[in-house]
A and B are shown apart, each in its own frame.
Chain A
Amino acid sequence: MLAQFIYRLRRSPIIPALILATLVLSAIFAPWVAPYPPVKVDLANAMLPPFFQSGGSTAHLLGTDKVGRDILSRVIYGGRVSLLLAGYVLLIGGTLGTVLGLVSGYMRGKADAIIQRGVEAILSLPTIMVALVFVFVLGQSFISVVLILCPFIAARFARMVRGDALHIRNMGYVALARVAGASHTRIIFRHILPNVAGTLIVIATLEVGALILVESSLSFLGVGVPPPTPAWGLMVSDGREYLASKYWLTLFPGLAIVATVLAVNWLGDWLRDILDPKRQFL
């Protein structure tokens, strides 16, 4: 009975899909869903505990921070920051990496050698260390975090897509297209790109989780999205000095990160099993 239930759960992504849908919808409709504006200061109601504890009230379900900002509202708006950032990085870095990977795998030769050396160089850099330095160059802002993370994502996409492209370029239909006189550009985008789509979806999903973790780590270190933007990592960091007495300042934003990343990774695992049965975990 239980085993069957677990088996079913593993084969359908209902739970992560629900978590993710809730997050995305509440992030999009944050102004309507969140009970308060995320930066609204209310010193009279500072440091209220969550509603289930004595002293807490249902007016602030998850409590308030040191200047009386509503934790729940900030967690909801924090989803916007994380998801938007991951979206931008995937769009820019992912596109760049895909094109580089396609060219690298299809053209081979010199172009491949140059691109791959570049990819290796980027992948051998310690991400957080480099990001620390970059943020200081570009200044602390949403856009600089996006720009720092793009090359790393591009490198990962390029490596994965290249592997697929190398394999696909030897397929009969690619040879036929070449015989039929199709240009390299046409072959790359019409014949190879659609066939790496599965890989792209899987990497994109799995990378969203990694991106949110890195972004929140940077925010936590104080070099990510600048305050008073309600970023989850920043909220956890704000709660540090009150950890012993006001646990809710760190607990809830942290749970939001875990729930989001867990849902995305779960979905990614599921997608990988479906789209690429050879790499299955179970």
Chain B
Amino acid sequence: MVGYIVGRMAQAVLSILVITSIVFMLVRLTGDPADVLVPDYAPPAVQERIRQQLGLDRPLYEQYARYIGGLLTLDLGTSFSGRPVIDVLLEHLPATLSLALASLVVALGLAVPLGILSAMYQGSWIDTVARAIALLGQSIPAFWLAMMLILIFGVGLMWLPVAHRSGLSSYILPAIAMGWAPVAGIVRLTRSSMLEVMDSDYIRMAHAKGLPNRVIYIKHALRNAMIPVLTFGGLVLGGFLNGSVVVENVFAWPGVGTMVLDGVTLRDFPIVQGCVIMVATFFIIINLLVDLLYVALDPRIRYG
């Protein structure tokens, strides 16, 4: 057990290291960042000074060593605007994380009941509706759904705010736009997981004891059926961090997605580097936690 956890953590650290290296190399291949910051007509001496200030005149391996060293102390470098990347990140992180959580609530809140119902009433119209929603969920691009939601609820009905992060109501549209996509997967998983549990001996036993259906479904079946759904929910959360670029862009949400897109446009590579590494690290850590949670929740699973 301890061996499994240690091994799994080592793997996660390795993944993070690989990703940081790839990003480091990629961003440096995009061209000389000094060209973007300094206009062409600036004297060469000025260009040179800026390169020196940013450490861009050093050999690549030295930049890399300094970069990895910095990462270990949570020093992600300095943005070209002069602020430490970690400060900018911490400023944008709450917006992204809170939106991701809100989207998860929307996704689970919609998908889990639907999955349970379609398992309880197999082959009925509820089942058909669930399948239709699953298909639709996978087929609508988040950016377009976001714009249609804005068009209907923001512009047409004027019920909800359409941009920026203000009160709770500003979360509704972006959370639906982002939470819609994984609904399909969660419905399928909930449904098949419920069906599997319903087929087990202890549920048959509960039926034999004469327990009412509602008690059997909610108290006995649901608890066990939720294990795979919970862990999938973790993966979905990681996916939201990736997808945040698109949805945040539409809603002018002041999160990490907007930040990375701005970074790409301005060729502010410490920013891009910091964002992608942060998102990838979160993603990997979530995966790790999901795996460990799985072991903790289901006593039947044991890793040697």
Q: A125-B280, A129-B245, A243-B151 are in contact. Are A281 and B144 (CB under 8 A)?
A: no
| In the complex, chain B residues whose CB is within 8 Å of the CB of A209 | 138-139
In the complex the two chains form, is B140's CB within 8 Å of A258's CB?
yes
| A32 contacts chain B at the CB level, 8 A cutoff | no
A243 x B264 contact (CB < 8 A) = no
A73 contacts chain B at the CB level, 8 A cutoff: no
A259 to B204, CA, bound (A): 43
Contact A128 B26, CB 8 Å, known A221-B249, A265-B139, A282-B131? no
Q: Is A124 close to B, CB under 8 A? A: yes
Given A6-B128, A133-B27, A250-B147: A221 touches B141 (CB 8 Å cut-off): no
Contact A127 B143 (CB under 8 A): no
Q: Does A137 contact B (CB under 8 A)?
A: yes
The answer to whether B279 touches A134 (Cβ under 8 A) is: no
A43 at the interface (CB under 8 A from B): no
Please, which residue of chain A has its CB at the minimum distance from the CB of B184? A265
Render B247-262 as a binary contact track against A, CB cut-off 8 A, 1 for contact.
Answer: 0011000000000110
Contacts of B151 in A (CB 8 A): 243-244, 247, 250
Q: Are B138 and A261 in contact (CB under 8 A)?
A: yes
In the complex, whether A192 has a CB less than 8 A from a CB of chain B is no
- A window 34-90: CB within 8 A of B: none
| Best-surrounded residue of A136, A209, A251 (most CB of chain B within 10 A) | A136
Q: Does B175 belong to the interface (CB within 8 Å)?
A: no
Given the known interface contacts A120-B15, A133-B27, A281-B134, the answer about A128 and B139 at a Cβ–Cβ threshold of 8 Å is no
Distance to closest chain A CB from B118 (angstroms) = 9
Most buried by A among B18, B26, B29, B245: B245
For B127, list chain A residues within 8 Å (CB).
282
Query: B136 and A262: CB pair below 8 A?
Result: yes
| Cβ B144 vs Cβ A221 within 8 A | no
With A124-B19, A265-B138, A266-B135 as given contacts, are A132 and B246 in contact (CB-CB < 8 Å)? no
Interface status of B215 (Cβ within 8 A of chain A): no
A residues 141-164 with Cβ under 8 Å of B? none
Contacts of B27 in A (CB 8 A): 133
Asked if A18 CB lies within 8 Å of chain B CBs, one says no
With a CB–CB cut-off of 8 A, which chain A residues contact B155? 243-244
> Number of contact residues on A: which range applies?
35 or more
B116 smallest CB distance to A (angstroms): 15
Contact of A265 among B29, B135, B249, B261 (CB under 8 A): B135
Among listed A99-107, A172-180, A212-220, interface-contacting one: A212-220
Which residues from chain B contact A239 at a C-beta distance below 8 Å? Answer: 147
**B124 (CB) vs chain A CBs: closest residue:** A3
In A236-270, the 8 Å CB interface with B consists of 236-237, 239-240, 243-244, 247, 250-251, 254, 257-258, 261-262, 265-266, 269
Query: Within the assembled complex, what's the spacing in Å between the Cα atoms of A116 and B6?
Result: 20
The complex places the Cα of A240 from the Cα of B245 at a distance, in Å, of 16
Q: Indicate if B23 sits at the interface (CB-CB under 8 A).
A: yes
Q: Are B131 and A281 in contact (CB under 8 A)?
A: yes
Check: A182 CB closer than 8 A to any chain B CB: no
Contacts of A247 in B (CB 8 A): 151
Q: Are B147 and A261 in contact (CB under 8 A)?
A: no
Chain B residues contacting A3 (CB-CB under 8 Å) are 125
Q: Which residues of A contact B26 (CB under 8 A)?
A: 133-134, 137
Residue of B144, B246, B267 with most chain A CB atoms under a 10 A cut-off:
B144
Residue A233, interface by CB 8 Å: yes
Contacts of B131 in A (CB 8 A): 10, 281-282
In the bound complex, how far is the Cα of B250 from the Cα of A231, in angstroms?
18
From A124, A137, A220, B29 is in contact (CB under 8 Å) with A137
- In the bound assembly, the distance between CA atoms of A244 and B246 in angstroms comes to 20
Asked if A223 CB lies within 8 Å of chain B CBs, one says: yes
Are the C-beta atoms of A128 and B141 separated by less than 8 Å? no
Q: Does A121 belong to the interface (CB within 8 Å)? A: yes
A126 at the interface (CB under 8 A from B): yes
Partner of A128, one of B19, B147, B238, B243: B243
Known: A124-B283, A137-B29, A258-B144. 5 other contacts (CB 8 A): A221-B246, A223-B264, A243-B155, A254-B148, A282-B122
- Which 5 pairs between the two chains have the least Cβ-Cβ distance? A126-B242, A254-B144, A262-B139, A261-B139, A136-B30
A-B contact pairs, 24 of them (CB 8 A): A124-B280, A126-B241, A128-B242, A132-B264, A133-B30, A133-B276, A136-B30, A137-B26, A217-B142, A221-B261, A223-B264, A233-B141, A233-B143, A240-B147, A243-B147, A250-B148, A251-B148, A254-B141, A257-B141, A258-B144, A265-B138, A265-B139, A282-B127, A282-B131
